[in-house]
Structure 1
């Protein structure tokens, strides 16, 4: 009888036990959600190394090219210069979205050549009106079915989407953990701001898999193949820009790229290698993004490179045991991005992504922005009020590794400032007021 009771006890609690197991796996492999607060102290930390020679980097295109080559040789692999990009005719998904605020289209984009070419579907929401409109291109974690669940966009299998990956218990858990907008696109907010919104599912282009990712990259064809998924996903932004420049309502001088976490890393890379990009939003990009490789806090570059070896070039592996000797670090990547405006988003509880070293990297790169004629990082430390007009803007809010409503407000305020969007629903003043005191 006692054995039967034990079995019944286990069966009744099985859903709860499975949920705990799921949460443990996610938290151990993805992020340290809510386990600690990021330190706000920076004066007691070592200055980022190597030091940036600002005058040389500003005035010498050769020095800039050499530094980019070091990042390619050590961390990201080659930029796939000349990789063929083709796109098909835009299909109207809906002529009237959000009660007349915009129109929804999708464009098939193909990268590479021959049988190994990879195609993804770029979905574009355009505000109603003549334009031209600035556009933000977002690379997403979920399929277009989850990003645009109300609309009959094309699913990854080529059919029409029917439902979202965010439906059901698992989807609800993911949304609660990683925020309302981890997949879902707040189209109404962008349409009200006069900003076109485009997005594509990164894994539709190159899978986020240590086995499939390298195989897809090697088969793409073209003169140079990417050897890391971060570099490939960065080139995905370039391919999207190529396709969007054929859309006449898009302002060619108002193109922004945006990514969260691993795609935040790729957004930074794209901004350095594709100078058509006019603004970058890298939200919680962490290591190999805006956080310093030498930092001992959070996930760490070595652990990331071992857990996700396909994200980086295999040439990083010999360096993982002595990262202090790396010839480059991420403050130099931010310096290479100048004068392109960049917003670095952070969460106080997102210790895994290491906001503290992200701030120190931004602080070190700020002089480069000032030398290039942009507004540098505002004074006041990590608790500073958010300033969307800064060339290198730094945003810290409460909470963990997620995309929430306050983030969207800050993103839009930053984009409106730097891309000169035709209307302003969220002003810079409102964005600063949204900066919550509990980050202290």
Structure 2
């Protein structure tokens, strides 16, 4: 069962089916079996296999301030010890939680520039890795408060949610050649016969799961209501983490683009050749075998989004972000909607386009109006388009919080 049609760019696209071609009717039981095979296909062809034998060894709260953000929040810093068969690695977790009598839902995501960059609080620690990372990139060290636009803690806390974050390059430097000195260096070569090695996205996703483990030690957070969140490459990371770890209560992908929410088979600026040339270390080496042959990839990203079902999932795009292929991201949510409907939930596609669970024909998807910027569409699976460039800003967070309010009780 495949759907064929024409993309906005005029190129036809033909998606792999959500199902095996055995003629059986869609059902939840059948999808639960199918899901494991699709996840295995993503590991084999795109992200690599996450090795076993890793764990969170220790969580140490190193500071706790009860009067953060003018007295409206509690700020916690904790050291995590991530362990694998070949060693350990330390990472710093920063948490801002609203003052509450009960544990609250939380967003958990990796940040780009360091925990100290997400806040103007002068006593938030600056990672010891800042200079080494800056030297590796040939750029100046990141400054305190330089990334607050992406992390509006007062807004999020004010709506009743906590936020927890780790600097992604404290886990592994985002350049080729640093696998052995990062999280991947805690593990040896893949132990399974024929299992492809994991890329940096896999390592960052594994680390998100270890951070989720750590949140069990933070009394202010409801560990059963933790939503993975990420922007750009870290949105790819959040999706892959949530697809593998069902403990994540939901996921938010902001402008994750190629290798994230956007369809490979929808013609955009980035394709497998472009992304594996620019960022080969993000993926398993096997992924590069599909350069110039995106249509032969055994999976596509609507299936990745569907792997998270029935957990709440939000995908966000920006109008001036061709690299992330915003229309391809929206199409991905349309084609994933049938699986959410199979569980009795609504997605972004009109319910009359296909029976629950059935593949949505591409010609039907292309007739669905593209959402107006500033308007969120969908329910359990939802989407918004923001006017502007590639970023995660307060407007995105307001849509995310409205989405979260539909699914989690909070104190806001």
TM bracket, shorter-chain basis: 0.7 to 0.9
In structure 2, the gaps of 5 or more residues are 1-6, 131-140, 192-196, 351-367
Whether the aligned pair in 2 keeps the contact of 1:137 and 1:256 (CA below 8 Å) is: yes
Matched, 1:211 2:177: yes
Whether the aligned pair in 1 keeps the contact of 2:371 and 2:377 (CA below 8 Å) is: no
Whether the aligned pair in 1 keeps the contact of 2:13 and 2:265 (CA below 8 Å) is: no
TM-score (norm 1): 0.78
* CA deviation profile, 1:233-268 (whole Å, cap 9, x unmatched): 111110111000122232132110110000000000
Aligned to 1:221: 187
Whether the aligned pair in 2 keeps the contact of 1:267 and 1:282 (CA below 8 Å) is: yes
TM-score (norm 2): 0.83
Which one of 380, 390, 400 corresponds to residue 379 of structure 2? 390
CA distance in 2, matches of 1:279, 1:354: 23
Range with greater deviation from structure 2 (294-303 or 134-143): 294-303
Matched, 1:406 2:395: yes
Q: 1:126 to 1:224 in 2, by over 3 A?
A: farther
Whether the aligned pair in 1 keeps the contact of 2:224 and 2:249 (CA below 8 Å) is: yes
The structure that is helix-richer by fraction is: 1
Aligned to 2:41: 70
Aligned to 1:23: none
Cα-Cα RMSD: 2.6
Report the 3-state secondary structure (helix = DSSP H, G, I; strand = E; otherwise coil) of the residue aligned with 1:111: strand
Matched, 1:305 2:276: yes
Q: 1:85 to 1:42 in 2, by over 3 A?
A: same
Report the 3-state secondary structure (helix = DSSP H, G, I; strand = E; otherwise coil) of the residue aligned with 1:137: strand
CA distance in 2, matches of 1:412, 1:154: 27
The Cα shift of 1:387 comes to: 3.9
The Cα shift of 1:397 comes to: 1.2
Whether the aligned pair in 1 keeps the contact of 2:265 and 2:295 (CA below 8 Å) is: yes
CA distance in 2, matches of 1:274, 1:223: 22
Whether the aligned pair in 2 keeps the contact of 1:386 and 1:393 (CA below 8 Å) is: no
CA distance in 2, matches of 1:240, 1:377: 30
CA distance in 2, matches of 1:86, 1:120: 12
Whether the aligned pair in 1 keeps the contact of 2:314 and 2:403 (CA below 8 Å) is: yes
* CA deviation profile, 1:24-74 (whole Å, cap 9, x unmatched): xxxxxxxxxxxxxxxxx7596645511222955732333221111111011
Report the 3-state secondary structure (helix = DSSP H, G, I; strand = E; otherwise coil) of the residue aligned with 1:109: strand
Aligned to 1:181: 149
Matched, 1:165 2:131: no
Q: Trace 1:89-238 onto structure 2 (pairs within 5 A).
A: 89-113=60-84, 116-157=87-128, 165-166=142-143, 181-182=149-150, 185-221=151-187, 227-238=198-209
The Cα shift of 1:154 comes to: 2.1
Range with greater deviation from structure 2 (385-394 or 95-104): 385-394
Q: How many residues align?
A: 369
Bigger radius of gyration: 1
Q: 1:391 to 1:214 in 2, by over 3 A?
A: farther
CA distance in 2, matches of 1:65, 1:44: 34
The Cα shift of 1:115 comes to: 6.2
The structure that is strand-richer by fraction is: 2
Report the 3-state secondary structure (helix = DSSP H, G, I; strand = E; otherwise coil) of the residue aligned with 1:89: strand
Matched, 1:256 2:233: no
CA distance in 2, matches of 1:277, 1:223: 27
